[in-house]
Amino acid sequence: MKLLEDRIRKDGVVKEGNVLKVDSFLNHQMDVPFFYEMGKEFKRLFEGTPINKILTIEASGIGIAIIAGLHLNVPVVFAKKSQSSNISDQVYSTVIHSYTHNCDNNVVVSKQYLHADDHVLIIDDFLANGCALEGLIDLVHQANGTVEGIGIAVEKGFQEGGDRLRAKGYRVESLAIVDSMDAKTGEIVFRSSEA
């Protein structure tokens, strides 16, 4: 999505350690009219798929998921990071490793809100190593639901998550895929969407 690539070039900040900061418009301050355009693109990409629900994870996935839900006219469920290791039998739970914070999080969804007849679009703001998405896929599978696709704002194409998920057969649509970036020059190379 050229609009997102242009915005990342304009407002993204590349830092050492393969960090791409986009918190001025994507995951701390959220540019809502811009989100509206991203949601419209998710609708275009996934229209015709029998999606009846979006699943995301707190916190930074929620904004984009809500706007995608508005365009696709479906409810959004967000998985919660649980402080407690004492997980109730009322929830599906999985463990997601966070490389950012170097810790494991228990992540839960109430069994009331994921079912065998759900056709789920998973939405998140970032895809890098894919751990968060694999956790969300696991939650859908525990409910015997179907993952119809995965919608991402920014994929770090130089990390393995996206390609591993595609190799497993999931339809992953990332609105921008960063193939390389350089903290010294600030240069960002996007994967051509025609490739």
Options 50, 73, 85, 169; binder of a copy of itself; rule CB under 8 A: 73
- 35, two tokens: 């989100």
Task: State phi, psi for 165 to the nearest 5 degrees.
Answer: -70, -40
Region of 104-112, 146-154, 160-168, 185-193 interacting with a copy of itself (CB under 8 A) = 104-112
Cβ(25)–Cβ(7) below 8 Å = yes
Number of residues that bind a copy of itself (CB under 8 A): 32
Per-residue mark of binding to a copy of itself, 15-34 (x: CB under 8 A)? --------xxx--xxxxxx-
Ramachandran bin of 31, using left for φ above 0, alpha for ψ from -120 to 50, beta for the remaining angles: beta
Q: Tell me which of 101, 116, 169, 195 binds a copy of itself, using CB under 8 A.
A: 101
- Could you say which DSSP state residue 114 is in? -
Which of residues 8, 67, 143, 178 is near a copy of itself by CB under 8 A?
67
Q: Is 63 in the site for a copy of itself (CB under 8 A)?
A: yes
Q: Which token pair is 127?
A: 């895809």
Whole-angstrom Cα distance, residue 56 to residue 36? 17
Out of 6, 47, 58, 163, point to the residue binding a copy of itself (CB under 8 A). 58
113 binds a copy of itself (CB under 8 A): yes
